[in-house]
Amino acid sequence: MSLIDKVELDKMLKGFVKQAVDTTVTSKLPKLDEAFVHEPKPFKQVSELVSQKTKSAHEELYKGYVETFNKVSAELDTAERTDVTSRHSEFRSLKLDETWNLNALWLHELYFSNCFDPHSEIVMDSMSYMRLERDFGTFEDWQRDFMACALASRAGWVVTGYHMFLRKYVNVMIDEHSGNVPVGLYPIIVVDMWEHAYYRDYLTDKKSYLISQMREFNWNVIEDRVKKAEGIAQVVK
């Protein structure tokens, strides 16, 4: 046998071995079933500080994120997982879309729930008030920092949340739906700072829009979230 024939034979044998190993490994992989179907939730945006056109458009946008997330989640069930690269692959693209749409729908639900209360009221002996005062110095200091984060955000969100590593409540700004999201943050208060949330009613006056949202925080909803955060704090301390 010539040297060339021997080299070709070695290549063939290695190819057969690789194919056999790949087939064995693939056949033993469990079938992934990670599709999560989410149903849009109804929200009563009873505020008079935001127009009905804005409310309706915002609701349709939210439903669109839910629909897209469900579609992406279903497509991930059958996405190719054995030929994935960081440069380009269907799996990578779907995982990015999953995060984008999942964050979008959840942030909207948090926002719709903790805003639009015309009877907004917070009491000084509530857990919400005491924790924000403790971690920001005063309740007013939390408000100033929250507003600063909101006005500094581009297209995105402002969030007060409990940070599991820092073990305190912090304000953060999220760009779009998935940029600058701190790992380990449990959201407590959320306000949408995308242009679609305020432009129709306030044009470029983001500050007036923000103040209108803060005037109608539903502190009962926020209080429930703080109590859950306190439970998290006990687990991770």
pLDDT confidence of 3, banded at 50, 70, 90?
Answer: very low
Q: How much is the pLDDT for 36?
A: 81
Q: Please compute, for residue 107, the number of CA atoms within 13 A of its CA located in the half-sphere on the CB side.
A: 29
Pull the structure tokens for residue 52.
């009905």
Cβ distance 213 to 54 under 8 Å? no
Q: List, for residues 15-71, the tens digit of each pLDDT value.
A: 544 454 344 444 444 455 557 889 989 998 889 899 999 999 999 999 999 999 999
Rounded mean pLDDT of the chain? Answer: 89
User: What is the pTM assigned to this prediction?
Assistant: 0.84
**Domain coordinates of the chain in residue numbers?**
52-114, 127-236
At 157, is the secondary structure helix, strand, or coil? strand
CATH superfamily of domain region 127-236: Iron/manganese superoxide dismutase, C-terminal domain (3.55.40.20)
Q: Which of 156, 163, 158 is nearest to 213 (CA)?
A: 158
Degrees, nearest 5: CA angle 181-39-98: 35
